[in-house]
Structure 1
């Protein structure tokens, strides 16, 4: 938002969202179902808020860390809201495999992904330097914080919390009428 406001003021507002098939949109819809979504490329959301063509913006990716620098105010951190409300992490992404793949292929895919992530963690500086070429106007300290938000202990071992959180989020989305059908999450480890 371009000004500080109470979370109750979100109701009925035009909100720039990064897409209707995003965790961000689903979470916002559960938090406050009464708003007007305006689909906007994620990297243009701060611009349309500043221009006034929408009332608020739902930011993802690096804008979560840079919005204040742009003169914007956080109304609600949906990740914190989810954690405080449900005592679960907000699931923000996953790698998908076809259920029809043989079990050994699924296991091998998981092993290779885990090995790749572990390599990046073990070679942190080299991995961060590589990732910086894809960073959109992000300096190294901010990029390191951003990577830390998404590459953490849950990345290597999702434990029981992440599958429970993913199932809860999808169940709530279905029950609220946001998702057209119930989705059964299946994790391969």
Structure 2
């Protein structure tokens, strides 16, 4: 394993200019939690400065397809479509492990083969899995905050809830299917469910790219190790859509020690997801996650 690279180990000419990096993340609690250690100044660098914006996940997916941000949170299911232009970062990842998005409907509704369903975006992981399990459903795409109301109003017969929406919903709604169960049926190995990660523009200089990954990794690590304090700061600033109890529950699910850096098991799960998408004709070529990550050994070898 290559050793960690910090700015103080770099030659002085690399520290003379600060690079401004745009970072986009979703406004849901796990992304805010993982990013805000940087925003609060707990992690700093002489090499880069981050400027952030928050957008819903499909907006971020579409923006990444257009190459708008230096770094962006994305749905893992999008990544094979942008792998030539963006590296896959090892940090800031969200996986389900026994849980995940939920397909919900009204208690009184019986779903037909071609039922109408609201999903949170064409390139989300939940959309990929849903399409594999329900190929005849009629899909409409909504902001994830509008999915529950679309089902309640009768605009659609069902919807897939994501983010904090999975924690509570109207009592007239029931779960038709857990996407975790669909994922387990598809992968056959009880692997964690890949949901979201971060991608970095390949046109950035490699030294800058590696510094960004190092800083973001440290930010997630610091956030996880200081969860009560950071959670309270986010809540006090009205940055979170749920109360403190639901926030704790949600962060335990999606922003935890498993979010700091990709594990071998998570990499295996990503490769399965990418294979499923390629086999279904959704991606132009087969890929594996490891081949599209930043070479962390670069600075160690260059300056050793």
TM-score range, shorter chain: 0.7 to 0.9
Where does structure 1 lack aligned partners over 5 or more consecutive residues? none
Query: Is the counterpart of residue 76 in structure 1 residue 177 in structure 2?
Result: yes
Which residue does the alignment assign to 1:121?
A: 224
| Separation in 1, partners of 2:178, 2:264 | 24
Question: Residue 119 of structure 2 contacts residue 144 of structure 2 at CA under 8 Å; is this kept in 1?
Answer: yes
Question: Residue 129 of structure 2 contacts residue 182 of structure 2 at CA under 8 Å; is this kept in 1?
Answer: no
- CA displacement at 1:104 relative to structure 2: 3.7
Q: Deviations over 1:122-176 (max 9, x none)?
A: 211121123332222x111111111122112321132112222222212211221
- CA displacement at 1:181 relative to structure 2: 1.5
| Separation in 1, partners of 2:172, 2:233 | 30
Q: Residue 135 of structure 1 is aligned with which of 231, 237, 240?
A: 240
Give the TM-score of the pair, scaled to structure 1. Answer: 0.86
Flag the 1:164–1:102 CA change in 2: closer, same or farther, 3 A. farther
Query: Is the counterpart of residue 94 in structure 1 residue 197 in structure 2?
Result: yes
Which residue does the alignment assign to 2:145?
A: 43
Flag the 1:146–1:36 CA change in 2: closer, same or farther, 3 A. same
Flag the 1:160–1:11 CA change in 2: closer, same or farther, 3 A. farther
Q: Deviations over 1:41-84 (max 9, x none)?
A: 110111110011101011111111112x4431111110243145
Flag the 1:157–1:44 CA change in 2: closer, same or farther, 3 A. same
Query: Is the counterpart of residue 187 in structure 1 residue 293 in structure 2?
Result: yes
Flag the 1:4–1:150 CA change in 2: closer, same or farther, 3 A. farther
Higher-helix-fraction structure: 1
| Separation in 2, partners of 1:134, 1:4 | 36
Question: Residue 10 of structure 1 contacts residue 32 of structure 1 at CA under 8 Å; is this kept in 2?
Answer: no
Question: Residue 18 of structure 1 contacts residue 39 of structure 1 at CA under 8 Å; is this kept in 2?
Answer: yes
Q: Deviations over 1:17-64 (max 9, x none)?
A: 111111111111122222100111110111110011101011111111
Secondary structure of the residue aligned to 2:162 is coil
Query: Is the counterpart of residue 175 in structure 1 residue 276 in structure 2?
Result: no
| Separation in 1, partners of 2:130, 2:234 | 29
- RMSD of aligned C-alpha atoms? 2.2
| Separation in 1, partners of 2:246, 2:258 | 20
Where does structure 2 lack aligned partners over 5 or more consecutive residues? 1-104, 297-304
Question: Residue 4 of structure 1 contacts residue 73 of structure 1 at CA under 8 Å; is this kept in 2?
Answer: no
Flag the 1:100–1:14 CA change in 2: closer, same or farther, 3 A. same
Higher-strand-fraction structure: 2
Which residue does the alignment assign to 1:3?
A: 107
Q: State which structure, 1 or 2, has the greater radius of gyration over its C-alpha atoms.
A: 2
More off after superposition, 14-23 vs 163-172: 163-172
